[in-house]
Every structure is written in structure tokens, then in C-alpha cells.
């Protein structure tokens, strides 16, 4: 069994002829030895001598050769040693028993030997199969990419089964193309490409010996990884014969299962590498944001203090100072957002929950955003008799500031509505503007970090404000959602306070 290939048949015609010749030669030698004994008058054990060629033929060369040995041995024994000698006549009935015993020994010995040989061949084939699988698994363990896996697969299968091989794969929905072959194959013909594509799409064998597309020269088998066919292996013979015998097909499928395990391992390693890169990127980004926030905050606080302390000499200077102070305050809010984002991503948000009046919270946020809301009219529809909400007032204040700032930037200069009302979910606090609104299907993505939606009114700014709103709201147990107004153009951003966070004031 060379190169781990399962044998395809028995010894063949040449082996049978050699077995017959050796058996006849051995029968002749036994006959000569019997003649010597016969000449000396020792006749009792001559018939037992013929058990030697019969047992040899039956155990070494199989049933047919054993029966031939038995027949030839009985004829020789009868002709040379049973009276009347030199004839095939049998005078004594007891001699018939001897002849039948020789034939019985030939048949029985042949069957027992054939069974032993079959068991030995099966054990050897299993050992070769296990060795092939173990060796292939060792080779696969050293591979870390698909690009390195495919040539090794093609070469190993070609060596193991003495066939031509080709590995076909498709990338990102493109047509399947050869990615490795032994010997090299640049392109498959139309029928073979169709068979490979069908095998890849359906995850089933195609080609000679399969149920589909049997006109193809290649037998294609799927290479599965992650629950789907990621490539196909094609095997063919140079003489255009049947690519694989039954036992070979089973071994090949086992080798492909090993390849599938390697593919799963490679995919897991790629995911780990990608995850590591994402984690490293997030760590560097958090470090950068924290560094920017802390390094800029101290000098900016000094600048703001100086601007607030300056007394303008005239109206023109007053306008310039107000403009500078407004931009400095906007920069301060941006830095505060950076630091807040770092805290959210680090999971370091500290809360001090207490009952908060929503009307007072909205009023305080509008006062702090007075300069940014100077060109926008804020309409507040928050009733005095609404229940209090059990939240962190500082985090809620940040949420409201960022929602108002978002509405001022993208509301198109129209009025901003702040509305609170009870609903089946609890208490909903909405900030509504009159801008163009949000693109359909992008309502959730607008809360992503540094997200600015093209084709909408959310293109300016840094994209941090709404991400901070979502982070702080989630930390307090609130829901936040985005959508478009139903009563006209504009966006609708809503904070939902669930029932367990509401505290009614006893009157």
C-alpha cells in the first residue's frame, strides 16, 4: 500500500499464475519424495505429504489455488501410490476418504487463510488511514492562513491518492476560480467550472461517481468550514478513469474533515487578531481622548476665567469678548464630551440618584445653553404635575444639554420643542426640531461614536453628543431612541423613563 493509498484489487492474474506454478512445483516435489518412500515400502504416511502443498496453496494463494492444489494432489496420489498404480482407478473404498480429506483440507484452509488475509488487509488499511490522517493533521497545524492552506491541501491529496487535484474557491460572491492545483491548472473548462460552482453553492459532491454533473472530468467535493462550503476540492486521473475507489472516497472525506477543522481554527485566529486590533485601537483612542481632555481643560478654564473677568471698553470690544467667550464655552463642552466618552467606554460612570423634577431639569439645561440657543426659540411642554424621576441629575443634565445642542445645530433655525408626557412605557421626554430629519433606517446608527450621517442634517459636529446621551441614558436605566416627527419635518429624540424610576409627589 504505497503512499497510504487503499489497494484497489487482489493479486491479479500474474500473482494467480505464479501461485499455480509454485503449487504444481511443490506437488511434484512431494510426489518425488513419495516415490522414494514408496520404493522403500513405507506407504502409510505418503498421503499426508500432500497436505503440505494443499495447506501452502490455500493459506498463501487463496481458495482457487488451494482447490487446484487439492485436485492435483489427489490425482497424483491416486495415480502414483494407490493400487492399481499408474491408473486413476480406485480399488479400495478407504482411499476415497483420503482423497476427500485432501480436498476438504484445501477448501477449509483456503477459507481460513482468506479470512486472515482479509483481516490483516483491513487492519493495515486502517493503520495507513490513521497514519495519513495524523500526518495530514500535523501539516495543517502549522498553517495560519487560507492562502497557505489551499496549496498544501492540493499537494497532500495528490500525493496520497496519486491523482490530479485542484482547489476552487470564490471571494466575496465572485465566480469560483482555482486557487491551487497539483499539477498547476490555470483555468477549468465550462463544464468543470459549472460542476465546481454547483458543489460550492450546494455543499454536495459533483462529477464522476456523484449524483450531479457526472459529465465533468473532475470529482468535486466540498471543503466545509464554519458550517458551510468555503471551497471545493477536485480530483481526477490522467487516464480519465474513475478518480477514486470506495475506500479511497471515505479516506478523502476524512482528510477534508481535517481541513474543515483547520479552516475553523484559522477563522477563529483571524477573529482573535481582528478583535485584538479593535481593542488596541479603542485603548489608544481612549488614551488620546483622555490626554486631550486633561491637557486642554486646565488652560481652557484659565482662558474662560480671563474672558469673564474682562470689562469691555466699548460695545465693539464687548461683542468680540462675547464671541470669544461663546467659542471658549463651546470648546469646553466639547472637551467635557471627550472626557464623558472616555468614562462611558471605561465603564467608570458614577451615579448619585435622587428625585428630579423634569421641568426644573429642562429649564436648567436651557439656561446653560442660552448662548447656543440664542437663534432658536425653545417651546417647553412639560407639565408641573408630572412625577419625579429617580436619576442622577448631573448625568441627566448632560443628556439634555447634548440633545438641545444637537437640535440647535441641526434644527434649521426653527423652533425647538421639549415635550414630556406619560405613556404606556413610563414617562417620555422628547426634544423635537424642525430640520430635515433622519434618513430612513439610520435611526440607530446616529448614536454611534463620531457618526455623522451623509444625506441628512446630521453631518456637522463631532458625533460625540448623541453617543454620550445613549451612554449616560443606558447607565441610568433609560431608553433613548431617535426618529422623525409625525406632524411635519424634523427629528425626534426621546428619553424614556420606565415606571420603576418614577416617583409621584403626594399632594
More confident residue, 489 or 91: 489
Residue 384 and residue 455 in one domain: yes
At 429 the pLDDT is: 94
Rounded to whole angstroms, the Cα distance separating 65 from 52 reads: 13
What is the DSSP secondary-structure string of 325-351? HHHHHHHHHHHHHHHHHHHHHHT----
Coil, helix or strand at residue 504:
coil
Nearest to 232 by CA among 188, 199, 189: 199
Query: Which segment of 87-96, 146-155, 362-371, 429-438 scores lowest on mean pLDDT?
Result: 87-96
**Residue 250 belongs to some domain of the structure:** no
Grid cell of 383 as nine digits = 407639565
The H or E element that residue 106 is part of is helix 93-141
Mean pLDDT, range 153-167, rounded to an integer: 84
- Closest listed residue to residue 51, CA positions, set 117, 90, 109, 114: 109
Q: For residue 154, is pLDDT > 60? A: yes
Contact 411, 376 (CB under 8 A): yes
Q: Is 235 helix (H, G, I), strand (E, B) or coil?
A: strand
Domain match, 60 and 193 both: no
Q: Are residues 326 and 239 in the same domain?
A: no
The sign of the torsion formed by the CA atoms of 61, 64, 68, 73 equals positive
HEC sequence for 9-51: CCCHHHHHHHHHHHHHHHHHHHHHHHHHHHHCCCCCCHHHHCH
CB 49 within 8 A of CB 98: no
Of 225, 212, 250, whose CA–CA distance to 169 is shortest? 225
Q: How many domains does the structure of the chain reveal?
A: 4
Q: How many C-alpha atoms does 61 have within 13 Å on its Cβ side? A: 26
**What does the buried/exposed string (b/e) look like for 294-310 if buried means 16 or more CB atoms within 10 Å of the residue's CB?**
eebbeebeeebeebeee
Same domain, 72 and 193: no
- Do residue 93 and residue 36 come from a single domain? yes
Considering the domain boundaries, does residue 260 fall inside one?
no
User: Are residues 375 and 499 both part of a single domain?
Assistant: yes
Residues 188, 164 contacting (CB under 8 angstroms): no
What is the CATH number for 297? 1.10.287
Question: Who's near 180: CB < 8 A, 6+ residues apart?
Answer: 150, 151, 153, 154, 166, 167
Query: Predicted confidence band at 354 (pLDDT cuts at 50, 70, 90)?
Result: very high
Q: For position 363, what pLDDT does the model report?
A: 93
Count CB-CB contacts under 10 A for residue 285: 15
Question: What is the domain-level CATH number for residue 439?
Answer: 3.30.565.10
CB 212 within 8 A of CB 198: yes
Whether 318 maps to a domain, the answer reads yes
Displacement of CA 319 from its chain's centroid (Å): 63
Could you tell me if 369 and 452 lie in one domain? yes
| Boundary (domain end) residue, out of 300, 331, 348 | 348
Residue 115 lies in a domain: yes
User: What does each C-alpha distance from 369 to 84, 361, 394, 419 come to in angstroms?
Assistant: 134, 12, 15, 17
Among the ranges given (1-5, 95-99, 216-220, 259-263), the one the predictor scored with the smallest mean pLDDT: 1-5
Question: 375 and 495 share a domain?
Answer: yes
Measured CA angle at 422 (ends 419, 427), to 5 deg: 80
Lowest mean pLDDT of 123-127, 227-231, 320-324, 451-455, name the range. Answer: 451-455
- Report the pLDDT averaged over residues 325-337: 78
Least confident residue range of 64-78, 351-365, 423-437, 463-477? 64-78
Q: Which of 153-162, 241-250, 489-498 has the lowest mean pLDDT?
A: 241-250
Q: Chain-wide mean pLDDT for the chain?
A: 79
425 closest CA partner among 373, 386, 388, 478: 478
Q: What mean pLDDT do residues 101-123 have?
A: 74
In the prediction, which pLDDT does 431 show?
93
pLDDT given for residue 3 in this prediction:
45
Counting Cβ atoms within 10 Å, is residue 371 exposed (0-12), middle (13-18) or buried (19+)? Answer: middle
Residues spanned by the domain of 477: 354-503
Q: 218 and 195 in contact (C-beta within 8 Å)?
A: yes
Contact 237, 164 (CB under 8 A): yes
Q: What is the pLDDT of residue 95?
A: 67
- Look at residue 74 in the predicted model and tell me its pLDDT: 78
267: Cα separation from own chain's centroid: 5
Are residues 96 and 220 located together in one domain of the fold?
A: no
Q: Domain with 173 in it: what CATH number?
A: 3.30.450.40
Q: Is the pLDDT of residue 11 over 60?
A: no
Co-location of 56 and 182 in the same domain: no
Output 43 or 126, whichever has higher pLDDT. Answer: 126
Last residue of a domain, one of 191, 211, 244: 244
pLDDT digits (tens, 9 = 90+) for 286-311: 777 667 666 777 788 888 888 888 88
Decide if pLDDT at 78 tops 90: no
Q: Which of 481, 478, 477, 479 lies closest to 493, judged by CA?
A: 481
Q: Lowest mean pLDDT: which of 21-30, 85-94, 268-277?
A: 85-94
pLDDT value, residue 345: 65
Where a domain ends, among 85, 106, 138? 138
In a domain, 26, yes or no: yes
Q: Are 496 and 362 contained in the same domain?
A: yes
* pLDDT score recorded for residue 500: 92
> 213-265: per-residue pLDDT in tens?
677 788 888 888 777 788 888 888 877 677 777 677 777 788 888 888 888 88
Confidence of residue 10 (pLDDT cuts 50, 70, 90): very low
pLDDT at 387: 92
φ/ψ of residue 176, rounded to 5: -65, 135
More confident residue, 1 or 474: 474
Instruction: Please indicate, yes or no, whether residues 24 and 114 belong to a single structural domain of this protein.
Output: yes
Q: How far are the Cα atoms of 213, 406, 421 from residue 490, in angstroms, in the given order? A: 58, 12, 19
> CB–CB of 80/86 below 8 Å?
yes
Amino acid at each position: 500500500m504505497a503512499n497510504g493509498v487503499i489497494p484497489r484489487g487482489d493479486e491479479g492474474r500474474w500473482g494467480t499464475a505464479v501461485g499455480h506454478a509454485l503449487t504444481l512445483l511443490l506437488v511434484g516435489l512431494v510426489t518425488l519424495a513419495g516415490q522414494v518412500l514408496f520404493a522403500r515400502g513405507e506407504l502409510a504416511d505418503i498421503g499426508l505429504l500432500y497436505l503440505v502443498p494443499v495447506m501452502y496453496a490455500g493459506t498463501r494463494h487463496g481458495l482457487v489455488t488451494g482447490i487446484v492444489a487439492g485436485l492435483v494432489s489427489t490425482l497424483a496420489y491416486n495415480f502414483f501410490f494407490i493400487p492399481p498404480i499408474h491408473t486413476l482407478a480406485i480399488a479400495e473404498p478407504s482411499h476415497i476418504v483420503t482423497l476427500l480429506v485432501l480436498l476438504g483440507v484445501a477448501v477449509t484452509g483456503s477459507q481460513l487463510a482468506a479470512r486472515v488475509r482479509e483481516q490483516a488487509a483491513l487492519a493495515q488499511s486502517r493503520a495507513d488511514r490513521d497514519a495519513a490522517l495524523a500526518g495530514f493533521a500535523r501539516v495543517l497545524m502549522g498553517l495560519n492562513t487560507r492562502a497557505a492552506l489551499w496549496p498544501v491541501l492540493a499537494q497532500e491529496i495528490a500525493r496520497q491518492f496519486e491523482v490530479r487535484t485542484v482547489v476552487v474557491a470564490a471571494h466575496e460572491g465572485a465566480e469560483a476560480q482555482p486557487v491551487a492545483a497539483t499539477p498547476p491548472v490555470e483555468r477549468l473548462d465550462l463544464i468543470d467550472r459549472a460542476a465546481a460552482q454547483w458543489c460550492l453553492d450546494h455543499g454536495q459532491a459533483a462529477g464522476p461517481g456523484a449524483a450531479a454533473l457526472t459529465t465533468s472530468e473532475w470529482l468535486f467535493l466540498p471543503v466545509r468550514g464554519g458550517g458551510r462550503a468555503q471551497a471545493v476540492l477536485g480530483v481526477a486521473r490522467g487516464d480519465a478513469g474513475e478518480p477514486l475507489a470506495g475506500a479511497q472516497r471515505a479516506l478523502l472525506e476524512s482528510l477534508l474533515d481535517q481541513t474543515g477543522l483547520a479552516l475553523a481554527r484559522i477563522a477563529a485566529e483571524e477573529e482573535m487578531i481582528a478583535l485584538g486590533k479593535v481593542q488596541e485601537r479603542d485603548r489608544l483612542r481612549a488614551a488620546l481622548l483622555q490626554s486631550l481632555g486633561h491637557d486642554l481643560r486646565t488652560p481652557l478654564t484659565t482662558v474662560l476665567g480671563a474672558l469673564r473677568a474682562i470689562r469691555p471698553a466699548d460695545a465693539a470690544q464687548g461683542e468680540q469678548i462675547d464671541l470669544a467667550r461663546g467659542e471658549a464655552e463651546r470648546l469646553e463642552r466639547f472637551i467635557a464630551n471627550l472626557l464623558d466618552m472616555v468614562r462611558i467606554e471605561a465603564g467608570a460612570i458614577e451615579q448619585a440618584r435622587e428625585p428630579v423634577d423634569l421641568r426644573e431639569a429642562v429649564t436648567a439645561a436651557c439656561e446653560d445653553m442660552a448662548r447656543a440657543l440664542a437663534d432658536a426659540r425653545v417651546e417647553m411642554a412639560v407639565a408641573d404635575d408630572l412625577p419625579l424621576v429617580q436619576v442622577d441629575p448631573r448625568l441627566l443634565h448632560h443628556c439634555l444639554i447634548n440633545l438641545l445642542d444637537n437640535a440647535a445645530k441641526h434644527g434649521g433655525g426653527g423652533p425647538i420643542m421639549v415635550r414630556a408626557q406619560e405613556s404606556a412605557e413610563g414617562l417620555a421626554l422628547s426634544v423635537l426640531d424642525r430640520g430635515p430629519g433622519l434618513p430612513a433606517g439610520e435611526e440607530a446608527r446616529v448614536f454611534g461614536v463620531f457618526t455623522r450621517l451623509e444625506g441628512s442634517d446630521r453631518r456637522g459636529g463631532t458625533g460625540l453628543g448623541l453617543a454620550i446621551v445613549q451612554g449616560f441614558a443606558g447607565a441610568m436605566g433609560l431608553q433613548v431612541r431617535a426618529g422623525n416627527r409625525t406632524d411635519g419635518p424634523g427629528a425626534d429624540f426621546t428619553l424614556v423613563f420606565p415606571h420603576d424610576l418614577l416617583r409621584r409627589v403626594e399632594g
